[in-house]
Amino acid sequence: MKVRQISLICAMALTLAGSTLLPAFGMTSNGSEGGDKKENSYSQEYTGENYSDIGMEVSYGYDGNAKADRYIPVNFTLKSQAGSAFHGTVRVEAMESDYNIYQYDYPISLDAMGSVKESLDVPVGRADILYVKLLDSHGTELIRKRLKMNVPTDVAELYAGILSDKPDKLSYMDGVGVNYSAVKIRTFQMQTDQIPDHVIGLDLLDVLVITDYDTRKLSKDQICAIMEWVKEGGTLLFGTGARADDTLYAFRSDLLNDDYEVPAMKSVDMGVEYATNGPGDSFMNLVCADISLKGGTGVLSNDQFPVLTAAIRGKGVVGVAAYDFVDIAPFCETQRSYVDKLFTALLGETRLNNLSSYLYNGNSSQFWAVQNMLNTGDVDKLPGLAFYTIVILTYIALVGPGTYLFLKRKDGRRYYRTAIVGVSLLFTIVVYLMGGKTRFRDTFFTYATIYDDSENFEDEYTYINMRTPYNRAYSILLDPSYNLLPITRSKSYEREPVPKFSGNEDYNVRIGYGEDGTRVSVQNAAAFSPKYYTLSKRTLNEDRKGLWGNITLFKGSVYGTITNEYPFSVEKAGILMYGKMVVIDELKPGETKKLDGSPVINYPINNSFQVSARVTGSYQYSKADIEDPDYMLALSRTNILSFYLDKYSSFYNQEARIVAFSKDQKDSQFLVNREYETYGVTMFTSTINVKSNKNGETYRSALMKTPVAVSGQYYSDSNAIYGVDPVALEYSLGNDLNVEKLIFENPSDEFLNNQSTNYTNIFKGKTYFYNHNTGNYDSMDPEKTEYTAKELTPYLSPGNTLTVKYVCEDTVENNWYVTLPMLMVLGRDK
């Protein structure tokens, strides 16, 4: 019996020693001054004995308003009546979406009889309370402020910042219900010095309206922050009119195609629905500017010209109105539904629906997206399973009959117990040594880094998963040049009650900002529990690094060149534009590649993973093989590219987005101490303009302006329909073109025939065009994909719109998600 116990104990030791642990990848000086609602600023204050002559005032958000799962400005002012200097810490405590307590420590110094005013951008979870504390140099709490935030919980709100010299004239926008009142607009008047010089400072806003304002007042950093915010999903709306030059001045080079004529008085039809006694009642005489926006399409049109033009920038939208929003104030004060019409046309139903769902679902989607991006592992950490199997089988053979028979033959059975212990200890040491390569001994990181290069700047976005193999507290020092933000998931959908947050709880994560680095301290976390963070920074692109070129997309072919300006080779370079791609296997440093004649691939836009797999080559693997380093590398690259396309890019914009990878990548640039284990992947991106004109003709996507769903359900972000019922869509082909040809393009065959995309349902069925002469829908030949101007004559409206009805042939198979063809337009400028 004792022999069995000893054998069991040694076998357990062997198992523990040989266990292999695998990674699972998953103070700024600007800000808004908060509001005048001092009753919400704090409810209690604690003052230390030696610092009763130090006072602290705190405000937050915009006019005391905030949103859950956003980063909000927390503004504080310290004033001292003491005769000596003070050195301490301002600590902000928040309960994150996962109900963990996060502390943010900012060092602060206060001169004798002095004062200091700062604004911090603090991530706020689902809780509606913040604590702001003043600590002395020994960590003793001197002052505490409790902030009860005004967070919308019943109706989704669209936060719109107003930057204008006459903000009072725009009060008509506040409180308007949009998208059938599912979203309510809440406006905030902003001053020039309240516009942040960093993108996170704008996170609380959904829309920024600039009208009747001179943008020369904005600094270069503020302008860059606004454009970066748009790229990450914000909406920028300009009003022009008589002050078009002033309003657009700082953004002209980024947004406008060319110069425009002097604004002039025009008669603008606000909409027949606003006519009371006759059609003429809906017209207003307004000073209008005829603006040509890069990649822009009219989303709200007058009879003769577009009054609102919009263009995609990254994941966001830029809109330019022909008039000044101050000038339409008298009309909108009585016809407030026009604001609904304006914002719905600019934002689209998809963005507005996302605002509604965000109220209930929070920001967990980012957590899952980052986890999916970091869910591959280092193949070097994989154990040699065959070798382990041989060792374990050998151990079983020896610890059982092998040792017994050997000792019996040698007449040494009395030494059996000792031999069993010896064999077990020997194999424990062997397996322990075998697991040295696969064992984690300290905190380790998995990461994904994106370098986004423009001609002036290089933006770096690094996502990390920080873990430790022990159930004990740990601390890591990160490079202080990065902005650090945690990524957490919401527990609200699990229906767990929200814990009480009194400000006395011990922290789970503490982030301290110091000159030597940003220190992240974690406690009360289980071994290998993931902690996700995003790190970002912007540097000058002094060497003009990037992938640059001159590209023309015309009639389904690509012309021009692309040059690698990085000091290293890049591989798996993909040029993505308008649902089409060109893939280049490798570009050496300084190499220029001619694109004429390169194969152009049409890809389905409803799945970024499919697009990414085609660029990186992971689509070539018929099944997963985690022991294959090439497969794991391709999968890692696919995950980061898919994440990038979902978060930072849009399939409909005027630019070509070029992505590439390199084996010469940095792996621990975010750490002060580079001795920790890191594993990950790096991607490089650039954007360049794409020309669509050749020989006087223009070739462009009809989807640049979102089709209007006349009937049925249409998903504009993926160009797909719900195929149970017929769906009718009105396409805008553009008032600026004389249409010569319309082409229906399906994804390339390689997407349709590949195993990894067999769940994509391509539209099969009958297509009908609405005939404006007869008022009926005419059936089209299902095999026909091109239509000439003569054939389109009865189907084009005076405004160059075409209404197409799609009827799926098999509603049982395709009743959930059907991908439509992509419409391309060929024409000449009017």
Residue located via tokens 């693997």? 621
Q: Which of 21-35, 44-58, 89-103, 747-761 has the lowest mean pLDDT?
A: 21-35
Tell me the pLDDT tens digit for each residue of 296-309: 777 887 767 789 99
Domain ranges of the chain: 2-23+384-434, 38-148, 156-362, 443-471+526-691, 697-829
Q: Are 211 and 164 in contact (CB under 8 A)?
A: yes
Q: Indicate the angle between helix axes 629-648 and 364-373, nearest 10 degrees.
A: 150
Amino acid at 749: D
Pick the CATH number of 697-829 from 1.10.150, 2.60.40, 1.10.3470, 2.60.120: 2.60.120
The DSSP 8-state label assigned to residue 171 in this structure reads G
Tokens of 91: 């600590």
Q: In what order do the strands lie in the sheet with 801-808?
A: 708-711, 727-732, 801-808, 765-770, 777-779
Instruction: Provide the token pair at 319.
Output: 């809109």
What tokens were used for 371?
């986890």
Mean pLDDT of 151-164: 88
C-alpha neighbours within 13 Å on the C-beta side of residue 733 = 29
Question: Which is more confidently placed, 620 or 214?
Answer: 214
| Radius of gyration, CA atoms only, the chain | 31
CATH class of 156-362: alpha beta
The letter for the amino acid at 713 is Q
Q: Phi first, then psi: give them for residue 190, nearest 5 degrees.
A: -120, 145
Closest CA to 313 of 238, 212, 220, 216: 238
Can you give the pLDDT at residue 323?
95
Give the C-alpha separation, 292 to 57, whole Å.
Answer: 47
* Calpha distance 646→607 (Å, rounded): 9
Residue of higher predicted confidence among 789 and 492:
789
* End-to-end C-alpha distance for the chain, whole angstroms: 97
Residue 44 CB burial class (10 angstroms; 0-12, 13-18, ≥19): exposed
Report the distance separating Cα 241 and Cα 617, nearest Å.
50
Q: Which DSSP string corresponds to 482-515?
A: SEEEEE----GGGTPPPPP--S-SPPSEEEEE-S
Mean pLDDT, rounded, of the chain: 83
For domain 38-148, give the fold: Immunoglobulin-like (2.60.40)
**Residue pLDDT, tens place only, 117-154:** 988 888 877 667 889 999 998 999 999 999 888 887 77
Examine the pLDDT at 284 and tell me if it is beyond 80: yes
Q: Alpha-carbon distance 119 to 76, whole Å?
A: 6
Using the predicted structure, report yes or no on whether residue 21 has a pLDDT greater than 60: no
193: left (phi over 0), alpha (psi -120 to 50) or beta: alpha
Question: Tens digit of pLDDT for each residue in 496-532?
Answer: 777 888 889 999 999 999 888 999 999 988 888 899 9
613-643 per-position pLDDT tens digit = 999 998 888 787 777 888 888 999 999 999 9
pLDDT in tens, 550-571: 999 998 899 999 999 999 999 9
Going by pLDDT thresholds of 50, 70 and 90, the confidence category of residue 48 is very low
Check whether 27 has a pLDDT greater than 80: no
684 vs 434, more confident: 684
Percent of the chain with pLDDT over 90: 40
Q: Tell me the residue length of the chain.
A: 830
H helices of 310-384, in order, are 329-334, 337-361, 364-373
Which of 345-359, 481-495, 768-782 tops mean pLDDT? Answer: 768-782
Q: What is the mean pLDDT of residues 711-719?
A: 84
Q: Are 684 and 571 in contact (CB under 8 A)?
A: no
Which among 167, 202, 160, 185 has a CA at the least distance from the CA of 324? 167
Q: How far is CA 762 from each of CA 366, 703, 748, 758, rounded to the nearest angstrom? A: 29, 17, 11, 10
- The structure tokens listed for 158 are 């669209």
Q: pTM surpassing 0.85?
A: no
Is 443 in contact with 28 (CB distance < 8 Å)? no
492, 568 in Cβ contact below 8 A? no
- pLDDT tens-digit readout, 482-501: 988 888 887 666 667 778 88
